[in-house]
Structure 1
Amino acid sequence: METLPFSRKLLGTALAGAMMLAAGNAAASDLSSRYTDADGDLVADVPADESQWVDPDTLVFAYTPVEDPAVYADVWADFLEHLSKATGKKVQFFPVQSNAAQQEALRAGRLHVAGFNTGGVPVAVNCGGFRPFTMMAAEDGSFGYEMEIVTYPGSGIAKVEDLKGRQLAFTSETSNSGFRAPSALLRSEYKMEAGQDFETAFSGSHDNSILGVINKDYDAAAIANSVAKRMLARDVIKSSDYEIIYTSQTFPTTAYGLAHNLKPELAQKIQDAFFSYDWAGTSLQAEFANSGEAQFIPVTYKENWAVIRTIADANGVTYDCD
């Protein structure tokens, strides 16, 4: 399948300057007052009071609502069976329909293990006590995805400047590649503001944005290219259906982690299950090999999400969790 030519860039010097000025690691103050962070790792501590630990009979798992939840219930089936054996617990897949629903489920204590999209991780950490510890990577340990701005052939949009007066679709306000990164980019590099220089729409997910562009519902959209790659591999779309006018630097991908108040022994079993999982021949491998992923690797919120926090800072994002 031939790949269409596109303009590949990094987030520019103006944005980089803004990010340097932002306090990338000074996010501890964003943590909800419901939680403590005695060790300074920017995530909620496990409660010191054992009476606050949770040890449910059934673990509830949710994957970020990037695409059709029904598809991903099957994709995750092999892994969730492995997780059940490793923990001795029943495991239920929770097909969340939106980022807001996933965040609320975590905050309300209805979600125990989850994968949150890149931009949603800081919200989950600060408002829901999410403790991320892993993400997917390639065999060689490389990881991440790029934000792309895409349009349909014949749209008259050949470069970012051509978005003026047109419509650009975002996914949701918590999405890094679907909102925050392109907003910071357009403001800093191109002096373009949403609602002034271009119209906006919110599609709800990356696949909706991609299909919306292809069907000409939107003039252009900001997407995560990892989603597009998986859709291409499943023949949901063709490379000739759309054109790429911008590609960003590489960002960390979906983070997987735990509710902060799980019983420590259970939390350890869950983490061990991720790192002991054998991908070979599984439904997870069949799906995520399409975007080059083949294993789970350890991550920390403080280090791996620094660039995401600074993009949020550049956009003036705050976390009013209480």
Structure 2
Amino acid sequence: MPRALFCRLLPALLLPLLGSAHAADLSSRYTDSDDDMVADAPAKPGEWLDPATLIFAYTPVEDPAVYAKVWDEFLQHMEKVTGKKVRFFPVQSNAAQLEAMRAGRLHIAGFNTGSVPLAVNCAGFVPFTMMADENGGFGYQMEIITYAGSGIDDVPGLKGRTLAFTSPTSNSGFKAPSALLKSEFNLEADKDFKTAFSGKHDNSIMGVVNRDYDAAAIANSVLSQMQARGVVKADQYKVLYTSQTFPTTGYGYVYNLKPELADKVRKGFETFDWEGTALQAEFKNSGQAQFIPITYQEHWEVVRKIDQAMDVSYACDN
């Protein structure tokens, strides 16, 4: 994709992020004295956030109202653990979620895989957990799908056709497929195939099923959830490519949350009982059954390498 076109597609918040590649570029607003690649809590108590109501946001989805119900029991549990009111914030875009945390209006969040580095470096996000299966296994794959009867039988068959991405910040919806299509198949966006941006994985999947797009790059975890809800059927699409495994949505809090409160937020995730909850019902079809501890430095290394390959910088002080 030409750089000029790519820049026009990015929200204003993300424009400064293009440039030379860096593994980690914490904003000058933050410090990292322990070299764990995430922002330290402020040293001065006067700079800590201790809100009466904690705001939680899940990564943007097609119908936020559905996920407000999915997360309701978890948020009730978080209220008991923290002693605070906890409210669900239905974000409409990755940029809105990033800006809300950067501005101090969002305290706890689940950021999608590709947005985690931006959230860490530009919004002070401290990820510490993600979902996993009963045995602690985690991850999802990027898949390129097409609709049944499209006439596309393999990845080279995308040449001259339209491939939908989700958003420029998405790992599986843009960055990973762009890097892999170039390195493995020598296919470049807007040179060898046409592109479209749907905004969300749900939109890309429905766009393929409804034949608005010839193909789409999506997270197969989202596809599994939509298929389990009966939104799409297996005979409506065909998988052309499946990638290596990537980490899933990263959950955490904003760096300047009062340390004692941040510890309680961690405890809220650690002690949540999934059994019989709407959260279990929603995510069991993608094999997720618990929250496990993670670190940004270790678990997001593969994502940072993809960003480096695409010449993406996380510097956001400009």
TM-score norm. by structure 2 comes to: 0.92
What CA distance in whole angstroms lies between the structure 2 residues aligned with 1:284 and 1:180?
28
What CA distance in whole angstroms lies between the structure 1 residues aligned with 2:103 and 2:23?
23
Q: Which residue of 2 aligns with 1:222?
A: 217
What CA distance in whole angstroms lies between the structure 1 residues aligned with 2:268 and 2:102?
24
Q: Which residue of 1 aligns with 2:266?
A: 271
**How many angstroms does 1:68 deviate by?**
1.2
Q: Provide the secondary structure at the position in 1 that maps to 2:216.
A: strand
Aligned length: 298
1:74-113 aligned within 5 A:
74-113=69-108
**How many angstroms does 1:152 deviate by?**
0.4
What CA distance in whole angstroms lies between the structure 2 residues aligned with 1:31 and 1:150?
35
Residue ranges of structure 2 left out of the alignment (5+ in a row): 1-20
Confirm or deny: 8 A CA contact 2:121 2:315 kept in the other structure.
no
Q: Which residue of 1 aligns with 2:23?
A: 27
**How many angstroms does 1:301 deviate by?**
0.1
1:208-247 aligned within 5 A:
208-247=203-242
Structure 1 moving runs of 4+ over 3 Å: none
1:28-177 aligned within 5 A:
28=24, 30-177=25-172
What CA distance in whole angstroms lies between the structure 2 residues aligned with 1:265 and 1:70?
31
Q: Which residue of 2 aligns with 1:313?
A: 308
Confirm or deny: 8 A CA contact 1:134 1:256 kept in the other structure.
yes
Amino acid in structure 2 at the alignment position of 1:209:
S
Cα distance per residue 1:129-186 (max 9 Å; x no partner)? 0000000000000000000000001111110001111100000000000000000001
What CA distance in whole angstroms lies between the structure 2 residues aligned with 1:33 and 1:192?
37
Q: Which residue of 1 aligns with 2:17?
A: none
Q: Which residue of 2 aligns with 1:7?
A: none
Amino acid in structure 1 at the alignment position of 2:23:
A
Confirm or deny: 8 A CA contact 1:27 1:42 kept in the other structure.
no
Amino acid in structure 2 at the alignment position of 1:144:
G
Confirm or deny: 8 A CA contact 1:120 1:176 kept in the other structure.
yes
Q: Provide the secondary structure at the position in 2 that maps to 1:174.
A: coil
1:183 pairs with 2:178: yes
What CA distance in whole angstroms lies between the structure 2 residues aligned with 1:116 and 1:227?
14
**How many angstroms does 1:308 deviate by?**
0.3
Q: CA RMSD in A?
A: 1.2
Q: Provide the secondary structure at the position in 1 that maps to 2:33.
A: coil
TM-score norm. by structure 1 comes to: 0.91
What CA distance in whole angstroms lies between the structure 1 residues aligned with 2:196 and 2:190?
10
**How many angstroms does 1:66 deviate by?**
2.9
Residue ranges of structure 1 left out of the alignment (5+ in a row): 1-23
Confirm or deny: 8 A CA contact 1:61 1:92 kept in the other structure.
yes
Q: Which residue of 2 aligns with 1:14?
A: none
